[in-house]
Structure 1
Amino acid sequence: MIFLRYILYPIVPIYYLVTWLRNKLYDLGIKKSISHKTPVICVGNLSVGGTGKTPMIEYLIHLLKEDYLVATLSRGYKRKTKGFQLANKDATAESIGDEPFQFYNKFKKNILVAVDGDRNNGIKQLQLIDNLPEVILLDDAFQHRKVKAGFNILLTTYSNPYFKDIVLPTGNLREPRSGSKRANIIMVTKCPKDLSDAEKNTILQKINPETNQHVFFSSISYSNSVISSNTNKPIDDLNDFTLVTGIANAFPLVSFLKEKGLKFDHLNFKDHHEFSEQDILELNKRDLIVTTEKDFMRLKQYKSLRDKLFYLPISIVINDEVKINKLIIDFLMHNAGL
């Protein structure tokens, strides 16, 4: 795969030019971005792969749900439905996608969860319902420029920041690095917890933010317990289990579990893996399974796994929560006229 990417290097300038031109047409107003009355906060990235969008969306939900009626809007990647879908009691990972289903399971009493490949249509549909949302969180929509979000949060990982990368197909960037200038906040995710001020300053210099941009650093925080459909178990009590992951980058999770001195084998699937009957038969042979919350949303439907399937919750810790919270609340106060 890596060799193929290098063979395709001559296509990089073409991809760069096409995506740069597309952005320029939007910047000049030749292609139209639509603004909406409801405040819209977009969380996205420049690169393919996992940068921590789901934990960031959940951070925003926790921040806002007590004071605002929050809606999340995703495309519902790999769902088996079409068009606009508003999550309800009959929702599944197959009907709305695993990440939106995770949001719905965790926050359904407090928020609205919707999916639509056409984000403008999704926003319009949300604005038609009786329970009108007061803020809409767009998940993975930084390149969806048909919507003019009022506030953009751009995520990039510490281990593979966008300023060291190039565009597809040889690199991982969906668009040129210059796209980062559209962000209000740039969040460097999955940082070591002991990241020094000197290294932060080095990264800041390489990002070289605009005067109106704010850069933050976040790290992953793992729970002390794993959770099943009916019980919790302290993580230190785990013995000889199977780790199942279907995420873009399982390395931080694997490293955490190894640092805990836990004994496990690892079944590593591709991101958003659709578990087959053969996969489930294999998992039925295992005595104890630990997985990610996203994968749990797809696996918990199998009754044969229910008593031995656990997930490890994660959250993010941001270096200056007071400042980022203020920036977000100020945006909403200004745009909602509250």
Structure 2
Amino acid sequence: MELLLLLTMAYLRLLLLPFSVLYGLVIWLRNRCYDWGWVKSVGFDKPVIVVGNLAVGGTGKSPMTEYLVRLLSRHYQVAILSRGYGRKTNGFLEVALDGTAEQYGDEPLQFKRKFPHVTVAVDENRVHGARLLFRGSHEAIVLDDAYQHRALRPGFAILLFDYRSMSQSKWLLPVGNYRDSFRERRRADIMVVTKMPSTATEAEKCRIRRSLTTTRQIPVLFSSIGYGPLVPLLPDKHSGEATLSSEHTILLVTGIANPAPLYDYLNAQVRDVVQLRYPDHYPYTLATMQTIMTRFGKIGNPSKLIVTTEKDAQRLLMPTFSTRLADLPIYVVPIHAQFDEPDESILQQLVLRYCANTSGGNSV
């Protein structure tokens, strides 16, 4: 059966190969048009930092964006600019604390609720959005998921690779998971391999560095995920943090690209983890709420909790959903990017040096 599955997958890849080749040609031509100046790319003489990836989703862009905001907020009036994936609105909007994921997208709303003092804006036209932000008092902008948005020329680009992807093929869509050519890593100022396991050795890091080597000397850094204490989705209904034990059963509800690291983290602490896994940015419905309640009710262990991510929490907090879930013990697990020395010092020095060397002014 396993051999048959492998043969079927190989056959499907062969059938899809022409589409990957065609997609690759289109991507190559698009990138060269920007490289050769045939299509205009707009830059700014204030700090503009882009966080992105080459593969589809799940590389830890949100934790990296939040890390940069914490770093830069000590020195600059910083703003976050995002496309606002999954929102039902258009154009430039500043994110409000009392808004919804349908208005702004789940990640921008997550950023705003984590950093209420920071301006968070959404605009599918990043150049337009950046111009509007710089017309105000903002001194630096962090762009979430904009590595492929080449109409805007970043001053500093941070390219992320998920650790697990380093041992996988670099095929373009639809055969593989890459939305841009692996060779485009050469445009980065820093490459960060995210979600590194604690068991990773120096020899493995050296191997990864070699696989990412380009003709330019681009620093390759490594980060892992740090998990915070579980906090209630609805603090007015369930106050205080939750402490996990080997007696607990968890219903893990996720609509993110790669929940595997979170599953592994929770599974190491509790008796059992039951998963309700939805696609990235999944548009939850009332039927989804009923599925969550039904699945949770079927768990026989009285020591049970529902756990979800910060991104999913933005969608679950919509009034029509939160009232349905009010009586359930739903907790959110905060995450953050963490670096070991000397990688953290290298990252901070390079980012802050770039910002210090970039004077104020208008777009060029």
Is the pair's TM-score, using the shorter chain for normalization, greater than 0.5? yes
Counterpart of 2:354 in structure 1 is 331
Picking from 119, 123, 129, the partner of 1:122 is 129
1:37 CA drift (Å): 3.0
Counterpart of 1:37 in structure 2 is 45
Q: Which runs of 4+ in 1 moved over 6 A?
A: none
For 1:310, what is the secondary structure of its paired residue? strand
- Counterpart mapping for 1:119-268 below 5 A: 119-129=126-136, 132-161=137-166, 164-230=169-235, 231-237=239-245, 239-268=248-277
- Counterpart mapping for 1:92-131 below 5 A: 92-109=100-117, 111-129=118-136
Picking from 316, 330, 334, the partner of 1:313 is 334
1:162 CA drift (Å): 8.7
RMSD of equivalent CA atoms: 1.9
CA spacing shift, 1:6–1:275, aligned 2, 3 Å? farther
- Note the alpha carbon deviations across 1:187-216, whole angstroms, 9 max, x for none: 011111231111111111111144441110
Q: What TM-score do you get using the length of structure 2 for normalisation?
A: 0.87
- Note the alpha carbon deviations across 1:149-198, whole angstroms, 9 max, x for none: 00000001111139831111111111211110000000011111231111
Counterpart of 1:80 in structure 2 is 88
Task: Identify unmatched segments of 5+ residues in structure 1.
Answer: none
Counterpart of 2:30 in structure 1 is 22
1:310 CA drift (Å): 1.1
User: Comparing 31-40 with 284-293, which one deviates more in the overlay?
Assistant: 284-293
- Note the alpha carbon deviations across 1:208-263, whole angstroms, 9 max, x for none: 14444111011111124344331332332572231101000111111111111342
CA distance in 2, matches of 1:229, 1:4: 45
CA distance in 2, matches of 1:102, 1:213: 31
For 1:261, what is the secondary structure of its paired residue? coil
CA distance in 1, matches of 2:102, 2:164: 32
Task: Identify unmatched segments of 5+ residues in structure 2.
Answer: 1-7, 298-304
CA spacing shift, 1:207–1:163, aligned 2, 3 Å? farther
* Alpha-carbon contact 2:93-2:121 (below 8 Å) kept: yes
CA distance in 1, matches of 2:191, 2:336: 18
| Paired positions, count | 334
Residues 1:303 and 2:326 are matched in the alignment: no
* Alpha-carbon contact 2:97-2:109 (below 8 Å) kept: no
For 1:164, what is the secondary structure of its paired residue? coil
1:117 CA drift (Å): 0.6
Which structure has the bigger radius of gyration?
2
For 1:160, what is the secondary structure of its paired residue? helix
Q: Percent identity?
A: 41
- Note the alpha carbon deviations across 1:58-103, whole angstroms, 9 max, x for none: 1111111122111111110110111111112442111100000000
CA distance in 2, matches of 1:195, 1:210: 26
- Note the alpha carbon deviations across 1:126-146, whole angstroms, 9 max, x for none: 1233xx211111111101000
